[in-house]
Amino acid sequence: MNLRKVFAWLIGISLFFGVMIGWVAPLAFPPIAQVAQPIVCAGGELSQDVIRGESANEVTYNSAFVCYRDGQEAEDVTASAILTAIGIYSLITFLLLFFFGLRALRGQTARMREAIRAIGDPRIRMEGRTIDMQDADLPAKLDALSTLRTQGLIDEASYERMVAEARRKG
């Protein structure tokens, strides 16, 4: 998976969780939206009212956010409070996913480096995150790729692509 797709997925997942936490969760747990208070109601107090509506066959819940500042009228800041909370929780989610993903990637690279070392062929080595097998002969390349696939360090599609490339280059 290329880097653009990874970032697109990270952003999409982060926005989803940001919306779920920043917009939906305050209905069940109102203090969650208070994260927006310093931004949308600086120097005042942010208050949330949960409004319950009923009709013949359904019950709905809505939130309204009001900012109270000394000596001023109450100001409805519902939209900005919700959008700010969504943005903050999306950013937090993105950072958590990014750093945990980076940690997992480093772990996989370390496992791959160890597997290459265990193969014991000096012609096969790791350069950064890339496997360098240019100096190895075809049987050594195929053996190394088979070992990496068996240990789950490369997937089947990568294995097939790398084997085809190794056979093409000889």
Q: What is the pLDDT of residues 8-50, one digit of tens each?
A: 888 999 999 988 888 888 777 777 778 888 999 988 998 888 8
More confident site: 97 or 107: 97
Alpha helices in 20-137 (DSSP H): 25-28, 37-40, 78-119
CA dist., res. 138 & res. 167, Å (int)? 7
What residue ranges do the domains of the chain occupy?
3-102, 120-169
Q: Is 2 helix (H, G, I), strand (E, B) or coil?
A: coil
- Measured CA to CA, the distance from residue 64 to residue 99 in angstroms comes to 34
